[in-house]
Amino acid sequence: MSTLVIIIIAIALIYDFLNGMNDAANSVATIVATRVLSPFMAVLWAAFFNFAAYFIFGLHVANTMGKGIVEPHVVEPWFIFSALVGAAIWVYLCTHLGLPISVSHALIGGMVGPAWFVFGADSVISSGIIKVVVFIFVSPIVGFLLGYLLMVLTKFLLRKSRPGKVDSWFRILQLLSSAFFSLGHGSNDAQKTMGIIAVLLFSTGALGSEFYVPEWVVISCYTAIALGTLTGGWKVIKTMGVNLTDLKPVHGFAAETAGAITLSMSAFMGIPVSTTHTISGSIMGVGVTRRVSAVRWKVAQSIIGAWILTIPMTMLVSGLLYIIIRAIVF
């Protein structure tokens, strides 16, 4: 394994760490906002279940990322370097601004940019991109609907219960729903970096003639995302858990459960969806059950704006970077 490949793998793991930092909010924002756990205990809880996903889920998303976004024959170390750096710049900027963007889509845009700009549209696997683009819209809508329906059902079932008793029940249940969501986060997001590292190794001949994800790659990626979650992106947590809508434990439970169901289904289907889009939709769906104005739509607009810009911006940055690198190195 060359020094360049080792450096790029290190960058990929740093990116996975940043993924955990930005997406920490997705796993813990609701239990922090509802004061079920302190911020530190919340990220510790989420990090544990991020890593626990290693023992539960398969590698369907990793295979999609490795073989289903761009043609493997165009991939070489500098291609992956450009994809990672372009995506990391956007993720860092949005995390610094407190915007919960899709780290997944940043990485996908980072891969598509170099392929499209240098090798043309034929180097991009259209079926894989269509699947991703469709679920940019499907995952938050499904999260919204499930969050809304779960909240309506919960309100109906508990309509005769005392508010104080309901609050105490759901403070416990929210720990379970947060753990469920963190499992979904780990299974979906860590696998995207696994796919990137695996296709890098495959392109250099390190895996032989057959594509697969080595065990050390799997463990490394789950560890990196768990450590990133443990570090936490506190500005993003505030945006998601406090600024978007006011939450009580029952609302947090409904939002996390809705998001977790959506993520788990997509992980088993091998579709790399956005945990950010999913939980944002779920929180909004839960908020609407109180009243439409309970959702702070101006905050929602800024989040959606960042979502729309993510793939084009990372495509542009990574594509231009790869063109410059090719002009210097090749």
What does R_g of the chain's alpha carbons equal in angstroms? Answer: 19
Alpha helices in 115-248 (DSSP H): 126-157, 163-185, 191-203, 215-231, 234-238
Q: What pLDDT score was predicted for residue 104?
A: 76
Low-confidence ranges of the chain (pLDDT < 50): 241, 244
pLDDT score, position 294: 54
| pLDDT at residue 325, rounded to an integer | 94
**What is the pLDDT, as a whole number, of residue 13?**
92
Give me the number of domains the chain comprises.
Answer: 1
A 10 A CB-CB count for 60 gives 18
Q: What is the pTM of this model?
A: 0.77
pLDDT of residue 296: 61
In this prediction, residue 26 carries a pLDDT of: 63
Cα dihedral: 26, 31, 33, 38 (round 10)? -110
Q: What is the spatial distance between Cα 8 and Cα 88, in angstroms, rounded to a whole number?
A: 13
Distance CA 226, CA 228 (A): 5
* Other beta carbons within 10 Å of 293: 10
What is the domain extent for residue 221?
3-329
Q: Is the Cα dihedral 30, 34, 39, 41 positive or negative?
A: negative
Do residues 273 and 137 lie in contact, with contact meaning Cβ atoms separated by under 8 Å? no
The pLDDT value recorded for residue 198 is 92
